Every structure is written in C-alpha cells, then in structure tokens.
Structure 1
Amino acid sequence: MKIREASKKYAVPRSTLQDRLHGRVPEKPRRMGPDTILSTEEEKKLVDWIISMRKCGFSIKKDDLLDTVHAIIKGDGRKNPFKNGRPGNKWYHLFLKRNPLLPHRSREGISRRRTVITKESIEKWFVTLQEYLKQQGIEDILDDPTRILNGDEISFVFYPTTGDVIASQGYKNVNEAQTGKEKEAITILLFFSANGEMLPPSVVFPYVWPKKDVLSMPKDWFLGKSDSGRMESDLFYDYIVKGLDNWLLQQKTKKPVVIFVDGRRSHLTMKVSQYCSDNQIILYALPPNSAYIMQPVDVGVFKPLKSEWTNMLRKWRAHSKTVNSALIKSSFCALLNKVLNNKKLDESIKNGFQECGLYPFCSDNNVDYTKCDQDTLDNLLDETQNVFVPKICPEEFQLSDFDSATKVITNIRQNLENSGVDVSVVLGEIEKQRLMLNESLHTVDEFPISIKLENDDNNDIDNLVIPDSDENKLWNSDCF
C-alpha cells in the first residue's frame, strides 16, 4: 500500500508515516500525558514493598501508601502538584491502574464478633509462616531461640492504684492524695529473644528531649521523643538501626532473624522494611487481635513487669526520703532499671515464647486455645440453642444444668464482654428458662393431667386430646 493511500484509509498523517518509514522517530512505546511524580523504578519499589509486606502478614492500607509517597517527596524536596505534598485519590487510583498486580479491595464493615481470633486462624498462621520460611530456604530459624524475637510497646504509669486499705469501722474516707499528674505515663519499647534475653530498651519522652545523664539512664538504653509520647515510625526505625541491629551484631547472632510484631502502623513503613530486607531481618506480623494468645510479651512478660513496677513505686513512696513524693522523669529510668534487672524475668520471657508456640515451634501442644473467645462463644451459642427452647421437657433437662451454665458464663464473663457479648442478657435468659422449668415441674405435681380419648375402642394415641386448661398450656405433645 502506498503512503498516501494508507494515510487516507487509517486517518494517520502522511508525514507521521514517512517519519516512521525513514527512521526519524525511534521505535519504542509512547506514553501519553505528563511524567509521573515518582519514577518507574520508584513505583516498582513501592509495588515490591507492598507485595513483600503482604507475604509477611501486613496489610498496607491506602493511607499507609500515601504517607510513604509523601515521605519520599518530602525527603528530596521534589516539586509536586499535591496539596501539602501528599497525593490524593486521583494519584492513588492512577497508581493502581498502572500496577495491575495490586488489586484494590474495599474495606467491609464487619461486626466485632467476626474479627475475634479463632483456633483455625491461628493454625493457618503457623502453616503460612512455615511455608514462607521454607520458600526462603531459612526454615532453620525456628530451631534457634537466639534468632527468634518479639517486642512491643508498654506504658509505665507514674501513679498506679494504691490498692485496698484497711480502716476502722465507721471510717469511710480513706483516700490518698496524689502529687502530680494522675495519668502521666512513659512509653517503653522492649524486645526479647526466645532464649530469655532482653535487648536494651527505648524510652520515649513526650514533648521534650532531656539529656541521658539528667535522666540517670543506662548507657546502652535509647532515648526518643515524640509529641504524643508514643512510639512513632521514625523512632521505631532509629531503634531498629541503632539498637536492635547493633545488639544482634554485638551478640554475634546468626542472620537472618525473625521478629514477630503486631500490625501497628509504625512497623509498616517502607523505610523500615527496606532496611530490614537489606540486613537480613524479617519482620513478620502476628495474627490480628491475637496479642493475648500469640504475642509472648503480652502473654508472659508485660503483666509481671507492670506488677513489679507497681510494687517498686509503692516501696519508693514509702521510703523515708521520698515518702509521698511525686515521681519525676529524672528518677524514672533508675527505678525502671531495677525492675528490668529482675532475675526471674528471663524465665517469664521463655515461658511467653513457649505458651505462644513460637519456641519450641509447635501450635498443637503449647497454644492455649481456650483463650479463643470466638470458639468459646460459638460453643456457648450452640449449647444455648439446644437448651433455650420455648418448650421445656423435664425428661431432658434438670435445674442443675442451668446452674452449671450460669457458673460457666460467670467465670468467663470478662472474655465474653471483650468479644462484644452482653453477658447480662445471656444470664437473664438462662434464669428465665430455669424459672420456666421450675414452674413446669411444680405444675406436674400439683395439677395432674386428665386425658380423654375420643375413641376408647381403638385407643389410638394419635387421637389423644389434652384438655384446654391454663395449667396444661405449659405442655406439648413433644413431651410424650
């Protein structure tokens, strides 16, 4: 076909075809529109980061991605059309369009009961973790307690509750005056290894950044500052780089190592993920809503630490030199150091990893599945569906059955309430059914039922009729 003929047929300018034929225009894909704010390589790194985080159990949300892009733009001060340097919905949807490997999923509002951890979800998490480590060829990590770590934040209050007070009869006012801010607390980031060792902690002070010598802080501890007084992404990154990784090098710990953490946003930044990837540190997310079952620090460490801290504060305030004094920031680290140096702490750490099934690595024998509120609730609902029927049959149920159900639910009341169950309604329904059964039993004794057969000759049980009286309305044919 001649150039002129092709130009007319396909509505392509003749000069464009001539440029192509004579090599004046390079043969490469052309993209319409302006250049993207991030380069193709930068967007590829974002995609790889999101996919790798997903494999380690972290879910990157829209805000996490936009915050990461904002940090990249802010880091080198590049020009951008975004308000305050943070991309919006348009950039987000175009980014997903350019990267079809990242399908968009809308979040669905689900009830709290559906988010509660179950035995099946925990077992699936153990299998997924093993498969991930096996694919990386590093499954031997699970056999070495020095390479398995866990950590989280914990707050130590300056004024814990004083406990019960014994007073003489007639004295109602036994209050104790608090000196200072009642709800003041300091956040500590603590990490532990499965062999019972504690890493140097990071202490986060709000608003101000005092000197370490003023705080009487041990030399190997880390000092952080945030406006909120809580652990933020930049502080977490600094601790990973200067604290945790340096400690691993000093201990000559074999790498790679795996660190189990929750899905907190400070753990999700691309900056943290990139450093961990470059230095053979695997951040792996624990199952959602599973801290009281699967996080060693919550299961075996933090509770005794807080109890010991409360006892330490009471002793400090009862001392002759500091009686009824207010604890100040310069005295905080010295007291906390005494608590963390408790000789029994290493046993609590080991027990925490063991009870979570992380070391020794075993989900069958060590994990306490009785803490799974979803399973407990489902069992109770199954039982109540069988017990709480509108028709009571004395041959099937006894009053002691309802008393036992009340006792069980009362013992696990806190777990059920944490799962969003209105325990008072359940207990009220049990009591209602118990009273119905009790009333029906008394009715049997006091009002014998007279039975009349319509056909005495055939004596057919199908023709049995119960007289329609008030005392007999509690009964039904299913009881016979």
Structure 2
Amino acid sequence: MRAFFKRHPEIRERIGQPLGRERAIVTKDALGEWFQQMKHYLDTIDPTLLTSPDRIFNADESGFNICPKTKKIISMTGAKHVYSVTSGKRQQVTMLACSSAMGQYLPPLLIFPYTRDPRFNALEGFEEAFFQKTPNGWITEVVFLSFLRDIFIPKLGEKRPVVLFVDGHSSHHSLAICTLCNENGVILYCLKAHASHLIQPLDQAFFGAIKLAWSEAVRKFQYQTGESVTMCTFARTLKKAWDTTARPELAYKGFVKQAEAKLQFLQRCSSHSPYLSIFWHHCSSRMYPNNLNLCSFCFTSSQIQVPWARTKNSHSLSILQHF
C-alpha cells in the first residue's frame, strides 16, 4: 500500500464519514429539479429576493455533548490503560443557529434537557443567547415557534419578504408556524429531502468549525479549572467557541459551498436552460471570502456586493440566470 500511495500522491487513505443510503442515492436530476422549482417559486413572489443576500437565511440545529470525544494524550510507553477525566454524563444541549447570506448571525437558541426551569442561570456567561427546555434537549414544534416569534422575526429588518431555508424535520412545520410566517412576510422553504448535507449552508462550514472550537474550549476549561463542564458552565464555555466561529466569512462560506453543489449537479446546463448557471472567473485555487476581490451575486442585471469581503488577488464569483 505504501508503494501504491507513493505512485499516486493525489489520493490518500482516510476514515469515511457515515452517510445513510437515502443520502447517498440523491441524483443530479432530483437536486436540479429542486433548485429550479425553488427559484421559480421565489421569483413568482418577489423577483428581487434572490438578489438580496440580507434577506436569505438558513436555520439549523446541532447537539453539543458536555463530554465530547477526548483527544490523544501523552502517556508512558507500555501503559495498558490511559484515562482522560470527563464529567461522565452523556448529556447534550441542542443549539439552534441562524445566519444570512450576508454573514449576519442571530443570537443562538440553547435547548437544555430539563422538564422544569433549573435553579441556576443556565445562560450565565452567554447572556445574549436564548433559553429553552425540552425533556430530552431536542427541538420541538413549540421550541421552533418560539425561535421564530422571539428571535428571528424581531431581528428582521423592514425589507420583506425574506426566505428561511430549513430541513424537513417535523418540528419545522406546523399550522401555527406557517401562520406566523405568513403574517410576518417569512417564506419558510424546505431543503431537498436527504440532501441537507450538500445544500445546507450551516452544515457546510459553521457547525464543523464550532464543533472543533467547542472541543478545544472544553479542553481548556478542564485544564484551567481542573473540573469538567457541567450544565451550569455549559453556556460560558460555548460562548468562547461561538465568539471564535460566528464570523461573517464562515456564514458566507456555507452559501458558497451551496453554490458549488449547484455547479456539481447542474454542470450540464446550457444557455437555453432555465437552470441556474454558476461559474467562476480566474479561479485557480479554491475561493474563500478572504481572497475575494469582488463577491457579487448576479441574477440578470442586478449586483450586490458583500461589504465585508476583503480584497486580495483577482478572484470573483458570479451567479447568473440564463434563459
């Protein structure tokens, strides 16, 4: 094997991420049809919506174990048992995050596994976050409704409508949720089933980065205090991970990767196709917000420049609609 990899330096052996069969069989045609239907539907409501990144949002949730997987440590050679002190509790807190294509983050919603309000301040050290509770710490319809009513809608500007992309979890859809969205100019649009790992912006960059930052924050907390993270200290520890990862460029990077998924699945589009064509100019390397000279989302003749994008090299991104 070593000689084989030496002859083929472009490949390497890696541990594969688990991927369900229903996700592995997503086809180009199915995903392409979803993109086409999504754009057609949004254009019928407001043709300028997709040219306004400050009106395009994505919300998603992920669980954070208070006892994350331990990393390698130094031990004596020949030691049979090597231990790493943890809290010993397999509890987790769910965080519901939301960001826009412009790079704006909304305060996160933390869902604790409680049936009653705790006697301590669960948000100590992370006061800008919001608190919710469920028996198992998972999101429910009631919790998502409170997120829309208390966090998402009050933080929106005057420009309406806005579109909020969510996955197909049952907690994201109910009569009360749909009614609230309709009354406040929010288009709740569901991502393609079993394809959120490809087109969910927050999954593409943000959650991967904050999970790594969370593990590092837990390690530092244990090193500095000699104690394990508990529900009492969860929020202040998560705050450190949030501050290091909730950056505009990470939010934008997720939407860029969503555009890359469109390119991969719609690469056979012609100039007469109603599909969305995506192409790059002078892209000799992978594009990130830090090396964008011009970051423009262009549908027909409209252009919107992302104000925080740094200027470096001569990379640009254009998304054009062909008829």
Q: TM exceeds 0.5?
A: yes
1:168–1:198 distance in 2 versus 1, CA, 3 Å = same
- Residue 198 of structure 1: aligned partner: 105
Distance 1:229 1:344 in 2: 22
- Among candidates 242, 254, 257, match of residue 355 of structure 1: 257
Instruction: Report which structure shows greater RCO (CA 8 Å, sep ≥6).
Output: 2
Larger % of strand: which? Answer: 2
Per-residue deviation at 1:368? 9.9
Distance 2:100 2:23 in 1: 32
- Residue 305 of structure 1: aligned partner: 210
1:347–1:328 distance in 2 versus 1, CA, 3 Å = same
Work out whether 1:171 is the aligned partner of 2:75. no
Aligned residues of 2:61 and 2:94 also touching (Cα < 8 A): yes
Distance 2:82 2:37 in 1: 55
Work out whether 1:327 is the aligned partner of 2:223. no
- Residue 44 of structure 1: aligned partner: none
Q: Which amino acid aligns with 2:51?
A: D
Gaps of 5+ in 1: 1-110, 370-480
Aligned residues of 1:216 and 1:331 also touching (Cα < 8 A): yes
Q: Which amino acid aligns with 2:230?
A: I
Q: Secondary structure at the match of 1:277?
A: helix
1:114–1:238 distance in 2 versus 1, CA, 3 Å = closer
Q: Which amino acid aligns with 2:150?
A: K
Distance 2:103 2:162 in 1: 16
Alignment of 1:143-292 (within 5 A): 143-181=51-89, 183-207=90-114, 208-210=116-118, 213=121, 215-216=123-124, 218-248=126-156, 252-292=157-197
Aligned residues of 1:291 and 1:299 also touching (Cα < 8 A): no
Per-residue deviation at 1:169? 2.5
Larger % of helix: which? Answer: 1
Work out whether 1:132 is the aligned partner of 2:37. no
Larger radius of gyration: 1
Distance 2:179 2:171 in 1: 14
| Aligned residue pairs, count | 247
What RMSD, in angstroms, separates the aligned Cα atoms of the two structures?
2.4
Q: How far does the alpha carbon of each residue in 1:435-468 deviate from its partner, in whole angstroms, 9 at most, with x for none?
A: xxxxxxxxxxxxxxxxxxxxxxxxxxxxxxxxxx
Q: Secondary structure at the match of 1:330?
A: coil
- Residue 120 of structure 1: aligned partner: 29
1:253–1:348 distance in 2 versus 1, CA, 3 Å = farther
1:273–1:214 distance in 2 versus 1, CA, 3 Å = closer
1:280–1:364 distance in 2 versus 1, CA, 3 Å = same
Gaps of 5+ in 2: 1-19, 268-323
Using the size of structure 1 for normalisation, the TM-score is: 0.48
1:219–1:167 distance in 2 versus 1, CA, 3 Å = closer
Per-residue deviation at 1:269? 0.4
Q: Which amino acid aligns with 1:159?
A: C
Q: Secondary structure at the match of 1:209?
A: coil
Distance 1:245 1:162 in 2: 39
